A and B are shown apart, each in its own frame.
Chain A
Amino acid sequence: MHLAWGPEEEAFRAELVAFIAEYAPPEALVQRDFAGMGEPGEGTEIVPEWARRWQAILFDHGWMIPAYPPELGGRNATPIQTLVFLEELASRGILRSLHFPGYAIVAPSLLEFGNEEQKKLAPAAIRGDTIWCIGMSEPNAGSDLAGLQTRADLRDDHFVVNGQKVWTSYATIAQKCFCYVRTDPDAPKHRGISVLLIDVDTPGIDVRPLRHINGMAGFAEVFFTDVVVPRENLVGALNDGWRITQGSLAHERGGLWVEGVARLEHGVEGLITLARHFGRDGDPVVRREIAQMYSRAASLRALGYKGFTSFAQGSSAPEHSYMKLATSETGKRLYELGMEMQGAYGPVVDDERGYEDGRWIRSFFTSFANTIAGGSSEIQRNIIAQRVLGLPRS
């Protein structure tokens, strides 16, 4: 056990820091309390121009996904180097991209499960040249994803798709959808699912935007009516899509904890500033609560590294579920605390009268997404109980 990284990792970090100093646009350097999950850029644009350019620059310099080879926007980095990369970006609050599905879920899934033609779509997904959305959830299939009902009927050389997706982030701006469909309605529910790559401008697709609870543009409903999808757009084998859900969920969870923890730490610093601003920093209750939040963040950082240690040694680590559960729940409490500390001003988002533009109440509302999306807190607890602790299914 040791605290510090070796000289090689630090040299790697130095290279990254030099790159950031030279290339990162000022907009990317703004610490955000929350990210991913439909967090829009400035204004109403979901992915503003600066973010598209920044993602391409990262790719071209091998800093988008360092573990990948250069043609996929990386530099063949080791797992520890990747961690150094994530921690350095997270501690500076820098986001690589404002649309995570393409680089974080679709590309890894295509590289793992796709055929040679489909693998060729990966670089553009990682570089952000193609914007992807993920069609998993439906009105009747959320936590119980395997219950999805959107039908895809195979007719000779094409599928015909009918049904509806919902909460589809980025659908309003995406070119392509990584879409889970039911291809065998008679099979047990986990066995009749397949994945299709669908162009969002195909006739018969209707995307209706939905605003988020925080008022910002974000996800959408997507309706499919007799949408024709070429057979070669099937990923992996027919009816073998459930395997891909397991893969893509794992990709999504991979490095998220680093950002999650950095956001908590940034939040704790914000709480301290807030307490001083409102003259609450001498209040013993407030002081203790801030210290509790600090402890949570610090212990979660340690737990994340512990999980990473087993992951880097090749064993699968249950820490993912722990980290997802704990960072999302702690975040919610942290922003709530910031809101509470402002007394009557907690809910004020008024430009003139509000503190920090209503950052705390807004972040509080936005943090609700984190305990729902990507497997709710209840689902995480089920996973821990059943897969990690080996308790019987209910």
Chain B
Amino acid sequence: MDFSLTDDQELLRDTARNILARECPASLVRAHIDDPTVAEPLWSRLREYCGLGSGPAVDLCLFVEATGYVAAPGPFFATVALFAPILEAAESDLLEKVLAGEVSGTVAMAGLDGLWAANREPRKTFVPEADRVDRVVVVNSGPTVTVAERLPARLVRTVDHSRRLFDVETAAAVADAQAIAPDALDRAVQRATIALSAELVGTCRRLFDMSLSYAKERVQFDRPIGSFQAIQHKLADMALDLERAWAAVYYAAMALDAGDDERARATHVAKATAGEAARRIGKDAAQIHGGIGYTWEHDLHLFLRRAFASEAWLGNTDWHHDRLADLIV
């Protein structure tokens, strides 16, 4: 197992970090709370990276780790990590345009229980960005897929304003449902789950970095709070959880890319490990920041919100552990 990045991958990662640092400051994430259209310039900039919707999952992860770091709003994740893989699994002609950045899209799959398994329910839930994408692909049991233009959508408010989730009424979109291989659908959902885990690791890294620098700056009792062992040990445990999650995510991405038998287990491990990291890092980040971290003015909550919402989406930590148990016990 070799974790080294190729020169191209390093370039991709650095490019992603640079673009997102420039184009997606915390002020944008904040402005997006009241006005989702402010994310449009960012989306125009990210369109050229929609090619990541196909090809190595490792590359996709490197990029979305950077979008997670800045809690990027907009349809990028839904398009490259959900929509494109499902189109690819369904061998849809539309894929080419999506990869070229010409068409954005999202996926309506989860039923009322919020689980990403094919079902017959006409109302799908937790559909990201359903009101601002060009297409919605509906997945029903069979499994089948249908690509629709616009479907009635209602915002389901969560604590996370940076990723907007919707209920979507899909009754109108069953007309030309097309069968899709269950294996291919599994793979697409695995790819999305691994990508979300990578994105979540990015968000965790942001929370960690903010906490570490605050611990070095903030002085109490005439010394930086980062010199107190209670704070040091929290940060050491946070760092361990973060590094462990990073490794689990890229292991899963490699397993998926290699078509390895491990990939189902590795996907559950990735999301569960990233989820555990998110919970610990989220709580301790808030603790380390003291009162300032409890304010609306401080940016910490923007990332806390994204982290806890990502932990719950596409199967939360417990759910992934339980599915893993089904495979191993």
A positions within 8 Å CB-CB of B: 1-4, 268, 272, 275, 281, 284, 287-288, 290-292, 294-295, 298-303, 305-306, 309, 313, 319, 322, 325-326, 378, 380-382, 384-386, 388-394
Q: Is B265's CB within 8 Å of the partner chain A?
A: yes
Interface string of B225-262 (1 = CB under 8 A from A): 01111011101110110011111101101110110100
B:255-300 near A, CB below 8 Å = 255, 257-258, 260, 265-266, 268-269, 272-273, 276
The 7 lowest CB-CB distance pairs between A and B, nearest first, are A385-B232, A302-B247, A287-B325, A299-B248, A302-B251, A384-B236, A381-B236
CB–CB B240/A384 < 8 A:
yes
Give chain B residues whose Cβ lies under 8 Å from the Cβ of A292.
272, 321
Q: How would you classify the secondary structure of chain A's contact residues: helix, strand, loop or mixed?
A: helix
CB–CB A381/B233 < 8 A:
yes
A291-B329, A305-B3 given; A394·B227 CB < 8 A: yes
Q: How would you classify the secondary structure of chain B's contact residues: helix, strand, loop or mixed?
A: helix
A1-B254, A291-B321, A295-B324 given; A306·B247 CB < 8 A: yes
Distance of B215 from chain A, by nearest CB (Å): 6
Give chain B residues whose Cβ lies under 8 Å from the Cβ of A386.
232
> B322's closest neighbor in chain A, by CB?
A288
CB–CB A391/B235 < 8 A:
yes
CB–CB A322/B324 < 8 A:
no
> A381's closest neighbor in chain B, by CB?
B236
Q: Which of B236, B255, B258 is the most central at the interface, judged by chain A CB atoms within 10 Å of its CB?
A: B236
CB–CB A290/B243 < 8 A:
no
> B1's closest neighbor in chain A, by CB?
A305
CB–CB A385/B247 < 8 A:
no
A290-B325, A385-B232 given; A309·B4 CB < 8 A: yes
Q: Is B58's CB within 8 Å of the partner chain A?
A: yes
CB–CB B240/A325 < 8 A:
yes
Give chain B residues whose Cβ lies under 8 Å from the Cβ of A378.
233
Pick from A298, A306, A389, A393: contact of B236, CB below 8 A.
A389
Q: Is B2's CB within 8 Å of the partner chain A?
A: yes
CB–CB B255/A294 < 8 A:
no
A381-B233, A391-B216 given; A295·B273 CB < 8 A: yes
Measured in the bound complex, the distance between the Cα atoms of B231 and A379 in whole Å is 14
CB–CB B3/A392 < 8 A:
no
CB–CB B236/A290 < 8 A:
no
Q: Which of A295, A306, A313, A326 is the most central at the interface, judged by chain B CB atoms within 10 Å of its CB?
A: A295
> A276's closest neighbor in chain B, by CB?
B329
6 further contact pairs, Cβ within 8 A, besides A298-B265, A303-B247, A309-B3: A3-B1, A275-B329, A299-B248, A305-B1, A305-B2, A306-B246
Measured in the bound complex, the distance between the Cα atoms of B288 and A389 in whole Å is 15
Q: Is B179's CB within 8 Å of the partner chain A?
A: no
Give chain B residues whose Cβ lies under 8 Å from the Cβ of A299.
244-245, 247-248, 251, 269, 273
CB–CB B4/A313 < 8 A:
yes
Pick from B223, B236, B325: contact of A288, CB below 8 A.
B325
> A6's closest neighbor in chain B, by CB?
B2
CB–CB B248/A298 < 8 A:
yes
CB–CB B329/A281 < 8 A:
yes
CB–CB A303/B243 < 8 A:
yes
Measured in the bound complex, the distance between the Cα atoms of B200 and A63 in whole Å is 43
Q: Is B5's CB within 8 Å of the partner chain A?
A: yes
CB–CB B226/A391 < 8 A:
yes
B:94-144 near A, CB below 8 Å = none
Q: Which of A305, A382, A384, A386 is the most central at the interface, judged by chain B CB atoms within 10 Å of its CB?
A: A384
Distance of B131 from chain A, by nearest CB (Å): 36
Q: Is B328's CB within 8 Å of the partner chain A?
A: yes
Pick from B229, B235, B248: contact of A389, CB below 8 A.
B235
Measured in the bound complex, the distance between the Cα atoms of B239 and A298 in whole Å is 17
Distance of A146 from chain B, by nearest CB (Å): 19
Give chain B residues whose Cβ lies under 8 Å from the Cβ of A290.
325, 328-329
Q: What are 9 residue pairs bridging A and B, where the CB atoms are less than 8 Å apart in the complex?
A: A3-B257, A4-B258, A288-B318, A288-B325, A299-B247, A384-B239, A389-B239, A391-B215, A391-B216
Distance of B58 from chain A, by nearest CB (Å): 5
Measured in the bound complex, the distance between the Cα atoms of B244 and A298 in whole Å is 9
CB–CB A1/B232 < 8 A:
no
Pick from B212, B228, B240, B328: contact of A322, CB below 8 A.
B240
Pick from B58, B240, B322: contact of A326, CB below 8 A.
B240
Pick from A291, A305, A325: contact of B247, CB below 8 A.
A305
CB–CB A2/B2 < 8 A:
yes
Give chain A residues whose Cβ lies under 8 Å from the Cβ of B257.
3
CB–CB B232/A291 < 8 A:
no
CB–CB B322/A287 < 8 A:
yes
Measured in the bound complex, the distance between the Cα atoms of B235 and A306 in whole Å is 20
Q: Which of A287, A300, A306, A313 is the most central at the interface, judged by chain B CB atoms within 10 Å of its CB?
A: A306
CB–CB A272/B235 < 8 A:
no
Q: Is B9's CB within 8 Å of the partner chain A?
A: yes
Distance of A333 from chain B, by nearest CB (Å): 13
CB–CB B250/A1 < 8 A:
yes
> B327's closest neighbor in chain A, by CB?
A291
Give chain A residues whose Cβ lies under 8 Å from the Cβ of B231.
391
Give chain A residues whose Cβ lies under 8 Å from the Cβ of B223.
392
CB–CB B227/A393 < 8 A:
yes
CB–CB A394/B228 < 8 A:
yes
Measured in the bound complex, the distance between the Cα atoms of B246 and A1 in whole Å is 13
Give chain A residues whose Cβ lies under 8 Å from the Cβ of B272.
291-292, 295
Give chain B residues whose Cβ lies under 8 Å from the Cβ of A284.
322
Distance of B214 from chain A, by nearest CB (Å): 11
Give chain A residues whose Cβ lies under 8 Å from the Cβ of B248.
295, 298-299, 302-303
